[in-house]
Amino acid sequence: MPASKITVTDFTNSPKVQANLKKLRETFGPNGKPFEVSDVLDAEGHQYVNLVQKGGGVLGVALVGYTYILEKMGIRFLRMAGTSAGAINTAMLTVIGKKQEEKSTRVLEAITNLNFFDLVDGHRMARWIIKRFITHKNYFRRIRIIAIAIIALFTLLLAGSMIFLILGQNNENLQMVSRPLIFALVIVMIVIAELVRYILKLLKKFKTSGYGINPGNFFYNWIEKQMRDNGVLDTTDIINKATQAIPGLHLRHDHPQGITDLTGDVTFIASELVTQNKIEFPAMAGLFRKDKDSLHPAGFVRASMSIPMFFESYFINDIPCNQPSIRQKWKEIFDEDDPPSSTRFVDGGILSNFPINIFYNSKINVPRLPSFGIDLDDSAPEDKKSSQQTGL
């Protein structure tokens, strides 16, 4: 029977999730410690922090669990930045609803409705191999055994054919034996030749498509739909979502800077290979188009999570590199005198997998709100404790 589909309530009602919430509420409840992590609050009493979300492949699903618990404890997010898998949750938390609302359950709903294997949208042979790698234990070991068997069969047939041909020069019976061996040898050679031809074809496509198995079109369309369903149709829309006003924003204590410069924003990190630069979207969209709205923000997220090998590189082509405004942007940001006409992006984690530096402001001496960062780790808590005790 097929596995039953996981739902949002399967997560929110999980005993471990409920136990963690209970522990937090008991520790920071009416009879516990005051839960104060930020001096920036809204009219409803939510506390605001900056949030950076790290890349981590499939582990990125855990990011939603982290933000879910934070939201349940009354924390909201003013400025956000993310790389790779972190860029996905960052985008979702940006486009959904209003700043003061809880959003993680809606992110969970979108994720639970997603068939993750649909992200594998490459060649049918690649899909076939990846699916069996996921569902079959020791799959590549089996492939190696089959390959060795084919080579061994070819070697035996070749040796047998030669032996019987030589010995059967003056023996008709031995010649009769050699004929089926030669026929079988030809069949095996054709199979091997076709396999080699097919592999070379895939390798050529692999190279021309940016060294990735999957084009990533399904993911782009999926994140674009999530944005569209939440009213984000272009780059201006996502900037407006990130910078939207927060009702009743105020400080817990007086501060020299007040709240005048406390505005939200969002940043997706991507690594650009042609010029070897770290790109911050949407702030640097002007490097590639005079009209930033001609670049869809779904492309920013797609560029950030272009995991090498698994996804093809993300390209921005036909850059009007001779336009004065474009040239000026490249000069200002990267001191580049000759902007490229085409750029190629891979996973932002190559250059900045934990972009917490985005939130640094040298003009602020006394912080008003903290920056929270999510560091993904798949080791069990007991393993960490053991490593700390042994000094590893």
Burial class (CB in 10 A: 0-12, 13-18, 19+), 160: middle
CA 265 to chain centre: 20
> Which two three-digit tokens encode residue 325?
């405004």
The most confident of 31-40, 65-74, 175-184, by mean pLDDT: 65-74
Report residue 99: phi and psi, to 5°: -55, -40
What is the pLDDT of the chain when averaged over all its residues? 87
pTM of the model: 0.80
Reported confidence tier of residue 154, pLDDT bands at 50, 70, 90: confident
Percent of the chain with pLDDT over 70: 88
Q: Characterize the bridge pairing of strands 265-272 and 309-311.
A: unpaired
Burial 5-18 (b: 16+ CB within 10 A, else e): eeebeebbeeeebe
Closest CA to 104 of 87, 90, 116: 90
What Å distances lie between residue 45 and 49, 98, 176, 248, CA to CA? 13, 15, 92, 9
Report, as residue numbers or ranges, the catalytic residues: 84, 347
Average pLDDT over residues 24-45: 89
pLDDT, residue 392, reads: 37
Q: Characterize the bridge pairing of strands 277-281 and 265-272.
A: antiparallel
Higher pLDDT pick, 97 / 61: 97
Contacts of 32 (CB under 8 A, 6+ apart): 26
pLDDT digits (tens, 9 = 90+) for 124-140: 767 766 666 666 667 66
pLDDT digits (tens, 9 = 90+) for 289-331: 999 999 999 999 999 998 887 888 999 999 999 999 999 999 9
Reported confidence tier of residue 4, pLDDT bands at 50, 70, 90: low
Angle formed at CA 83 by CA 385 and CA 329, multiple of 5 degrees: 145
* Other residues' Cβ atoms within 10 Å of the Cβ of residue 288: 26
Residue 52 three-state SS: strand
Higher pLDDT pick, 32 / 324: 324
For the chain, give the number of residues: 392
Percent of the chain with pLDDT over 90: 56
